[in-house]
Amino acid sequence: MITNTSMNWMRRTKIIATLGPATDEPAALRSVLEAGVDVVRLNFSHGTPEQHLRRANLVRQFAEELGRHIGILVDLQGPKIRIARFSGDRKIQLEPGAPFAIDPALPADSGDDTQVGCCYEELPTDVKAGDSLLLNDGLIELEVESVKGSRVACRVVIGGELSNHKGINKKGGGLSASALTDKDRADILTAVEIGADYLAISFPRTADDVREARSLLRKAGGDAAIVSKIERAEALHPGVIEEIIDVSDAIMVARGDLGVEIGDAQLPWVQKQLIGMARARNRVVITATQMMESMIQNPQPTRAEVFDVANAVIDGTDAVMLSAETASGRFPDRAVAAMDRVCLEAEKHPRARQSDHRIDEHFHRIDEAIAMSAMYAANHTKVCAIGALTETGSTPLWMSRISSGIPIFALTPHERTCRKVALFRGVYPISFHHDTSDHAELNRAIVEQLMALGVAKPDDLVILTKGDLTGVKGGTNAMKIARISEVLAAAPQRSETG
């Protein structure tokens, strides 16, 4: 009836690890998963569909062997606005005050010290004199002096070394490239073939971009949850960001391109706002980009990186993400272990366990009211765990929006739901198969599972939530605060003959 599982239920914040060349050896991938990964990211900006399918299959194989439920997040590339190439594939040095032009009409490999081509034909219509263009993740800044035909004439403000295919951002946002490219549309089909649990949309400008992605995914037969990556300045406009969050299942604070567009100094406060907004609207939130960047080359993180991860945890992020640290770094498993260690320590801070989430609001659904009531009771009663019988994961999601040090166990017969809730802060998936409609027997089965995990003893109190009719989506309508020993006594274990 119950399948055994192993997990680190002590850590509430989830860890996402990006896969890549550094994890392609099976032993390396298994080591990374064993270090504590909850969700893997397949970055479709790199690699082939065949490579991603192989990685996904290995993750599923190892997860089963480890008795774990590990989600898969497919991250679509989105529009990549980049300069073209320099003749001879050389690098150039831009000096402050020097003229430099970007012209989509130039041949792709004809760049020199004064100009370069561009893959984005709409650039001349998206910019005007006085705008600032940022190249190479913001390391180089150009001021637009004039636009004549396809030629965007600029003056170098901040110089530096520039090489082929570096990205272009407009300070303050405003580039009109569509969030979904033809490549993305094709990659959605691959994501469905993989059976992705989450699909991340890059550079959405409005909620319509998210709606379009969901429609394409559903038409392809996929049911992944949609993650909107917040990385455009215009996505932060009042009214726009709220709608993007509302039509998404999760958001990612993608601090790379976002930081380039709005400026690094604004990032910390914007990150805190986005985490708070997502949680208030019952959405999952991921904090990403350069969290332990130095571990690409070094076996230990810097103190600044430790502070960065810890602050995101204290602010309430559901997950923290590793990118190149695990995809191409020298120490992928160490990076996961370091992040695990920092998260565990940060979660001990009292602020990470406090919440006034929706304390003055009315609830519109019975299962939502049960979830909120359970968390209020949990935070004001000495319970050791919450066992939530769930079909879709909605009840554990609502519970997880309220900060608490009490583990929430999502018990479900559906593997898809197990992998989905693996991303929720403080929620731990359990494969739970039951063949009884007797509530006393069902309660006993749940508490036996909690005891088997080592989180509950006979004298402990637990909270159980489920529906009168099990197996019905949205049917959670009951909450029970119970002592383990009393639950066991109320339903003696059935004999093998029935």
Confidence of residue 378 (pLDDT cuts 50, 70, 90): confident
Q: How many CB atoms lie within 10 A of CB 407?
A: 20
Per-residue pLDDT, averaged over 414-439, amounts to 92
The three-class DSSP label of residue 75 is strand
Task: Note whether 187 and 76 are within 8 A (CB).
Answer: yes
Question: Is it the case that residue 443 has pLDDT exceeding 50?
Answer: yes
Q: Which residue has the tokens 């990186």?
A: 305
Q: What is the largest CA-CA distance in the chain?
A: 87
The three-class DSSP label of residue 71 is strand
Task: Note whether 454 and 441 are within 8 A (CB).
Answer: no
Confidence of residue 207 (pLDDT cuts 50, 70, 90): very high
Q: What single string gives the DSSP state of each residue in 443-498?
A: HHHHHHHHHHTTS--TT-EEEEEEESSTT-TT-EEEEEEEEHHHHHHHSPPPPTT-
Is residue 82 annotated as part of the catalytic site, yes or no?
yes
The three-class DSSP label of residue 350 is helix
The three-class DSSP label of residue 252 is strand
Task: Note whether 2 and 435 are within 8 A (CB).
Answer: no
Given this model, what pLDDT does residue 372 score?
Answer: 87
Per-residue pLDDT, averaged over 376-394, amounts to 91
Confidence of residue 2 (pLDDT cuts 50, 70, 90): very low
Catalytic residue among 171, 229, 255, 420: 229
Question: Is it the case that residue 150 has pLDDT exceeding 90?
Answer: yes
Question: Is it the case that residue 363 has pLDDT exceeding 80?
Answer: no
Residue length of the chain:
498
Confidence of residue 498 (pLDDT cuts 50, 70, 90): very low
Q: Which residues contact 56 (CB under 8 A, 6 or more apart)?
A: 42, 72, 194, 195, 196
CA dist., res. 283 & res. 280, Å (int): 8
Per-position b or e across 426-436, b if 16+ CB within 10 A of its CB: bbbbbbbebee
CA dist., res. 17 & res. 37, Å (int): 6
Q: Which residue has the tokens 């995914």?
A: 217
Question: Crossing angle of helices 303-315/267-280, nearest 10°?
Answer: 30
Question: Is it the case that residue 492 has pLDDT exceeding 80?
Answer: no
Is residue 229 annotated as part of the catalytic site, yes or no?
yes
Per-residue pLDDT, averaged over 190-215, amounts to 97
Catalytic residue among 18, 23, 287, 289: 289
Query: ∠ CA 255-256-262 to the nearest 5 degrees?
Result: 75
CA dist., res. 247 & res. 241, Å (int): 10
Chain centroid to Cα 205, Å, comes to 18
Confidence of residue 354 (pLDDT cuts 50, 70, 90): low
pTM over 0.85: yes
**Which residue type occupies 56?**
A
Question: Is it the case that residue 186 has pLDDT exceeding 90?
Answer: yes
Question: Is it the case that residue 4 has pLDDT exceeding 60?
Answer: no
Question: Is it the case that residue 204 has pLDDT exceeding 80?
Answer: yes
Question: Is it the case that residue 248 has pLDDT exceeding 80?
Answer: yes
Question: Is it the case that residue 416 has pLDDT exceeding 70?
Answer: yes
CA dist., res. 259 & res. 262, Å (int): 5
Is residue 395 annotated as part of the catalytic site, yes or no?
no
Catalytic residue among 60, 80, 82, 341: 82
Given this model, what pLDDT does residue 497 score?
Answer: 41
26-63 per-position pLDDT tens digit: 999 999 999 999 999 999 999 999 999 999 999 999 99
Backbone angles phi, psi at 464, to 5 degrees: -120, 135
Q: What single string gives the DSSP state of each residue in 127-177?
A: --TT-EEEETTTTEEEEEEEEETTEEEEEEEE-EEE-TT-BEEETT-----
Q: Which two tokens stand for residue 413?
A: 């017969």
CA dist., res. 270 & res. 459, Å (int): 45
Question: Is it the case that residue 297 has pLDDT exceeding 50?
Answer: yes
| Range name among 30-34, 264-268, 347-351 with the lowest pLDDT average | 347-351
Given this model, what pLDDT does residue 362 score?
Answer: 66
Task: Note whether 406 and 492 are within 8 A (CB).
Answer: no
The three-class DSSP label of residue 180 is coil
Cα first-last separation, the chain:
14
| Range name among 98-102, 153-157, 403-407, 470-474 with the lowest pLDDT average | 470-474
Question: Is it the case that residue 178 has pLDDT exceeding 70?
Answer: yes
Catalytic residue among 11, 41, 419, 466: 41
| Range name among 69-78, 262-271, 431-440 with the lowest pLDDT average | 431-440
How much of the chain is in helix, strand and coil states, percent to nearest 5? Answer: 40, 25, 40
Q: How many CB atoms lie within 10 A of CB 496?
A: 5
